[in-house]
Structure 1
Amino acid sequence: MANLLKPSTLAEHLNFAVLRIVAANHQTGSAQIGTGYVCVVKFAENLVTHVLITNKHVVDGANLISFDVHLATGEADTEPDSETVAVNVSVEQVPVIWHPHCDLVAIMITPAINAAVAVKGRKPFVSPLPAEVFMTNELAVDLDIVEPITMVGYPSGLWDEQNKLPLFRRGFTASHPAIDFNGKPEFSVDIAVFSGSSGSPVFLIERGLLLNKGDTAWSPKERFWFLGTLWGGPRMTEKGEIRVEPVPSGANIHVETGIRMHLGWVIKAKETRWLLDEVKVFLGRLPPGIMDNASSHA
């Protein structure tokens, strides 16, 4: 198989950080499609674990989640191959941390990835979100109320099926990212939201001559920030009522009444950071050595 392009920008690395999730329940035969993204948590001197972040409503009720991971190619394992492996994670057998207040969940996936790629005798090519690109409230106050956003995911389950890659879509912030929308750690975005978009990471990605808030002259800059995670949006019912609901994630064709309003609600990045801190605390409480074979070297 031909190799894919080696990612040379942070945006290109997102091809290998954002995964198409199929969450299934074998007892009921139901399945849902959603989006998730990979982060890493360092919990020992030289050990890290990969963590899949998505919405709780994507995996709620599922006992198995599946996604594809690219294999690495080359001696240094620094380039992605177009070949992928299917990774299956038993939700009941791996550590899962549920956010108590937000529609977020963290699933530890390194053991399942290691088992899947071992069959191929290869290493995985995964590009977790770096911690330094997480937007904070302190940094968000310097943003304008209208900023360009990029959402990466699988709207209506669509993707580059042959290469197993997500879709990148553009929109704008619809409320200020530094302000808690309706008193919650969220902000709103002006972008079309479809089934399968649940769990999609939202970014501020810009490069070129930029005029930041407070600047008096245009200058060459690059901005790359992880702003948060899409979870839902408003819908107008046939009676004209406005309801805010999680984005549906059914894998099958279904009838949905009402009109979606080209708006989405995004959980701020700080809540993902909080969840990752909880994963680190959880791993730190485990007996020494218990996660050694289920982790990767930093």
Structure 2
Amino acid sequence: MAWDLAVELIHATVQLEQPLGDGTRTVGTGFLIAETAPDGTPRTVLVTANHVLAKMPGNEARIGYRIANPDGSWSYSPQTLRIRDADGAKLWTQHPSRDVAAITIKAPDEFAKAAIPLNWLAQDETFQINQVGAGDEMMALGFPRGLAANQAGFPILRSGRVASFPIAPAQVFPTFLLDFTVFPGNSGGPVFMSQAARRRVGADEGRDVQFIAGLLTQQVELNSERLEIGIVTHAKFIRETLMLMDNPHAQITQARNEVVTGARAASAEEAVSREY
């Protein structure tokens, strides 16, 4: 059956926010993944950049659900998401070396159905099989400066081209560059490829190429100048973070701790006004 990853991810992507009590709020992006707990119980997991949650000082955030109405319209219905316990201890799981976080949530039934399957997350061989590399177009979803696409709270879809080479394997290149402008509020959003059949020699031309490449975690800034380049953390580290939720001793990738000179976190460390 034909499916459109862009549309599926739009439904699965949510705004994360925390009011700061002074008329401003801190904002980030997350997306929902459907997977199974060790006991076989289906569960919904929210994935975002670790710094999005870490930069929120309070114990509760808000997650921006959208509810479909019988007349075809949508309503924005944010709900409380507890991110720390009463003692202030974090309730999410973070990857030990990459800027990735995951937390199990209880989503409304119709929203839980929008969560994407785990197998849509790329692995190293995904990039190799599809010969993904520099110049290829990818798309990203997010809420730049807390701005949504409409009053229903849907994320804004944008695109850019892979700006680094090579981009795999993740153990050697845990992040890659995407040529597009990053704003506070974009962090934690999914970056994905959704193209018609490949036309490169040796690539599989019999199917569309659709997968989640990773999540946006940083922007590149040098000498206080934004270079309009985003940093994407590979989906492999999302998979590992999900494993760590159930097994803190799970084997993870010992990736090189590469640093792009001048890069800094791209979202929740900046507050945005409620008017956005």
TM-score by length of 2: 0.76
Residue 105 of structure 1 aligns with which residue? 101
Is residue 2:178 matched to residue 1:178?
A: no
Query: Aligned-pair RMSD on alpha carbons?
Result: 2.9
Distance 2:61 2:201 in 1: 42
Q: Name the CA distance, whole Å, in 2 between partners of 1:87 and 1:210.
A: 41
How many residues are aligned here? 238
Change (3 A) 1:149 1:196: same
- Output the amino acid matched with 1:212: R
Q: What is the TM-score when the length of structure 1 is the normalising length?
A: 0.70
2:119 pairs with 1:127? no
RCO (CA 8 Å, sep 6+): is it higher in 1 or 2? 2
- Where structure 2 has 5 or more consecutive residues not aligned to the other structure, the ranges are 249-276
The structure 1 residue matched to 2:61, chosen from 40, 61, 65, is 65
| Aligned residue identity for 2:176 | F
Amino acid at match of 2:236: K
Q: Alpha-carbon deviation of 1:260?
A: 0.9
Q: In structure 1, what is the Cα distance between the partners aligned to 2:42 and 2:72?
A: 21
Secondary structure of 1:270 counterpart: helix
Separation of aligned partners in 2, 1:17 and 1:31: 22
One-letter amino acid matched to 1:13: E
| C-alpha distance in structure 2 between counterparts of 1:156 and 1:164, whole Å | 13
Query: Which residue of the other structure, out of 227, 231, 251, is the alignment partner of 1:261?
Result: 227
Tell me how far apart the structure 2 counterparts of residues 177 and 59 of structure 1 sit (CA, whole Å).
27
Q: Deviations over 1:224-259 (max 9, x none)?
A: 11001111122122xxxxxxxxxxxxxxxxxxxx22
Aligned to 1:212: 200
The equivalent of 1:154 in structure 2 is: 143
Quote the sequence identity (%).
Answer: 23
Contact 2:133 2:162 in 1 (8 A): no
Whole-angstrom CA distance in 2 between matches of 1:16 and 1:280? 26
3-state SS, counterpart of residue 198 of structure 1: coil
Q: Which runs of 5+ in 1 are unaligned?
A: 1-6, 238-257, 283-298
1:36 aligns with 2:30: yes
Query: Which structure has the greater CA radius of gyration?
Result: 1
- Among 8, 13, 19, the alignment partner of 2:14 is 19
Structure 2 partner of 1:4: none
The equivalent residue for 1:273 is 239
Instruction: Determine if contact 1:193/1:263 at 8 Å carries over to the other structure.
Output: yes
Counterpart of 1:167, as a letter, is I
